Structure 1
Amino acid sequence: QAARRLLARGSGSILFTGATASLKGFSGSAGFAMPKFGLRGLAQSMARELSPKNIHVAHFIIDGQIEPAGQ
Protein backbone atom coordinates (compact mmCIF):
# COMPACT_ATOMS: atom_id res chain seq x y z
CA GLN A 1 0.00 0.00 0.00
CA ALA A 2 2.73 2.48 0.97
CA ALA A 3 4.82 1.64 -2.09
CA ARG A 4 1.85 2.25 -4.41
CA ARG A 5 1.26 5.69 -2.93
CA LEU A 6 4.94 6.61 -3.13
CA LEU A 7 5.17 5.38 -6.72
CA ALA A 8 2.24 7.63 -7.62
CA ARG A 9 3.96 10.54 -5.86
CA GLY A 10 7.30 9.79 -7.53
CA SER A 11 9.48 9.63 -4.40
CA GLY A 12 9.59 8.74 -0.73
CA SER A 13 10.95 6.40 1.92
CA ILE A 14 9.80 3.19 3.56
CA LEU A 15 11.45 2.25 6.85
CA PHE A 16 11.42 -1.18 8.50
CA THR A 17 12.56 -1.69 12.10
CA GLY A 18 14.34 -4.91 12.91
CA ALA A 19 16.34 -6.59 15.63
CA THR A 20 19.70 -8.31 15.98
CA ALA A 21 17.79 -11.55 15.45
CA SER A 22 17.39 -10.51 11.79
CA LEU A 23 21.16 -10.87 11.39
CA LYS A 24 21.87 -14.01 13.40
CA GLY A 25 19.81 -16.54 15.26
CA PHE A 26 20.15 -17.23 18.96
CA SER A 27 19.35 -20.34 20.93
CA GLY A 28 15.65 -20.43 21.77
CA SER A 29 14.76 -17.55 19.44
CA ALA A 30 13.57 -19.38 16.32
CA GLY A 31 10.01 -18.09 16.64
CA PHE A 32 11.29 -14.51 16.90
CA ALA A 33 14.21 -14.71 14.46
CA MET A 34 12.28 -16.28 11.57
CA PRO A 35 9.93 -13.34 10.89
CA LYS A 36 12.76 -10.85 11.51
CA PHE A 37 14.91 -12.57 8.85
CA GLY A 38 11.90 -12.48 6.53
CA LEU A 39 11.27 -8.78 7.10
CA ARG A 40 14.91 -8.01 6.36
CA GLY A 41 14.71 -9.98 3.12
CA LEU A 42 11.52 -8.15 2.13
CA ALA A 43 13.18 -4.79 2.78
CA GLN A 44 16.24 -5.74 0.72
CA SER A 45 14.09 -6.93 -2.20
CA MET A 46 11.92 -3.83 -2.09
CA ALA A 47 15.01 -1.60 -1.96
CA ARG A 48 16.40 -3.15 -5.13
CA GLU A 49 13.05 -2.93 -6.90
CA LEU A 50 12.06 0.57 -5.84
CA SER A 51 15.42 2.39 -5.75
CA PRO A 52 15.41 3.07 -9.52
CA LYS A 53 11.98 4.64 -9.03
CA ASN A 54 13.28 7.18 -6.47
CA ILE A 55 11.90 5.35 -3.43
CA HIS A 56 14.31 4.63 -0.58
CA VAL A 57 13.71 1.47 1.45
CA ALA A 58 15.71 0.89 4.64
CA HIS A 59 15.86 -1.78 7.33
CA PHE A 60 17.44 -0.67 10.57
CA ILE A 61 18.19 -2.40 13.84
CA ILE A 62 16.99 -1.10 17.20
CA ASP A 63 18.74 -3.01 19.94
CA GLY A 64 17.50 -2.93 23.47
CA GLN A 65 14.14 -3.14 25.11
CA ILE A 66 11.58 -0.43 24.51
CA GLU A 67 9.25 0.12 27.45
CA PRO A 68 5.62 0.99 26.82
CA ALA A 69 4.53 4.50 27.79
CA GLY A 70 3.57 4.88 31.44
CA GLN A 71 5.90 2.21 32.81
Structure 2
Amino acid sequence: MTPVTDLLVSAVAEGKLLESARTNIENLLNGSTGEVAQQSVEELVHSGSWDELNDRFFKTLAFGTGGLRGRTIGRK
Protein backbone atom coordinates (compact mmCIF):
# COMPACT_ATOMS: atom_id res chain seq x y z
CA MET A 1 0.00 0.00 0.00
CA THR A 2 1.04 3.59 -0.57
CA PRO A 3 1.09 6.19 2.21
CA VAL A 4 -2.02 7.82 0.70
CA THR A 5 -3.83 4.47 0.60
CA ASP A 6 -2.89 3.85 4.23
CA LEU A 7 -4.32 7.24 5.21
CA LEU A 8 -7.52 6.53 3.28
CA VAL A 9 -7.98 3.17 4.99
CA SER A 10 -7.37 4.76 8.41
CA ALA A 11 -9.84 7.55 7.68
CA VAL A 12 -12.53 5.02 6.76
CA ALA A 13 -11.84 3.01 9.93
CA GLU A 14 -12.15 6.21 12.00
CA GLY A 15 -15.44 7.14 10.32
CA LYS A 16 -14.00 10.26 8.68
CA LEU A 17 -14.19 9.05 5.08
CA LEU A 18 -16.96 7.12 3.36
CA GLU A 19 -16.04 3.70 2.01
CA SER A 20 -17.51 4.68 -1.37
CA ALA A 21 -15.30 7.78 -1.43
CA ARG A 22 -12.21 5.68 -0.66
CA THR A 23 -13.04 3.27 -3.47
CA ASN A 24 -13.63 6.09 -5.96
CA ILE A 25 -10.43 7.90 -4.92
CA GLU A 26 -8.39 4.73 -5.35
CA ASN A 27 -9.99 4.11 -8.75
CA LEU A 28 -9.03 7.62 -9.82
CA LEU A 29 -5.46 7.27 -8.56
CA ASN A 30 -5.01 3.85 -10.16
CA GLY A 31 -6.46 4.94 -13.51
CA SER A 32 -5.16 8.48 -13.72
CA THR A 33 -2.34 9.27 -16.07
CA GLY A 34 -2.14 12.91 -15.08
CA GLU A 35 -0.23 14.15 -12.09
CA VAL A 36 -2.61 17.04 -11.39
CA ALA A 37 -5.41 14.76 -10.17
CA GLN A 38 -3.01 12.71 -8.07
CA GLN A 39 -1.40 15.79 -6.52
CA SER A 40 -4.79 17.34 -5.77
CA VAL A 41 -6.03 14.23 -4.01
CA GLU A 42 -2.77 13.78 -2.10
CA GLU A 43 -2.93 17.40 -0.92
CA LEU A 44 -6.48 16.91 0.38
CA VAL A 45 -5.58 13.61 2.06
CA HIS A 46 -2.47 14.98 3.76
CA SER A 47 -4.37 18.03 5.01
CA GLY A 48 -7.14 15.82 6.41
CA SER A 49 -9.85 17.40 4.27
CA TRP A 50 -12.17 14.41 4.67
CA ASP A 51 -15.42 16.38 4.23
CA GLU A 52 -14.14 17.79 0.95
CA LEU A 53 -13.06 14.34 -0.24
CA ASN A 54 -16.46 12.89 0.73
CA ASP A 55 -18.20 15.68 -1.21
CA ARG A 56 -16.07 15.09 -4.29
CA PHE A 57 -15.95 11.30 -4.34
CA PHE A 58 -18.99 9.83 -2.55
CA LYS A 59 -20.41 8.60 -5.86
CA THR A 60 -19.60 8.50 -9.52
CA LEU A 61 -21.49 10.81 -11.81
CA ALA A 62 -23.78 9.29 -14.38
CA PHE A 63 -23.77 11.08 -17.69
CA GLY A 64 -26.33 10.73 -20.42
CA THR A 65 -29.96 11.40 -21.07
CA GLY A 66 -31.34 9.19 -18.32
CA GLY A 67 -33.31 7.23 -20.88
CA LEU A 68 -35.00 10.31 -22.30
CA ARG A 69 -34.95 10.78 -26.02
CA GLY A 70 -36.00 13.69 -28.13
CA ARG A 71 -35.33 15.51 -31.34
CA THR A 72 -31.69 15.92 -32.19
CA ILE A 73 -32.35 18.37 -35.00
CA GLY A 74 -34.13 21.66 -34.40
CA ARG A 75 -37.43 22.45 -36.08
CA LYS A 76 -37.40 24.93 -38.89
Indicate whether the TM-score tops 0.5: no
Q: TM-score, normalised by structure 1?
A: 0.32
Larger Cα Rg: Structure 1 or Structure 2?
2
Q: Name the one with the larger strand percent.
A: 1
Larger RCO (alpha carbons 8 Å, 6+ apart) = 1
Q: Name the one with the larger helix percent.
A: 2
Q: TM-score, normalised by structure 2?
A: 0.31
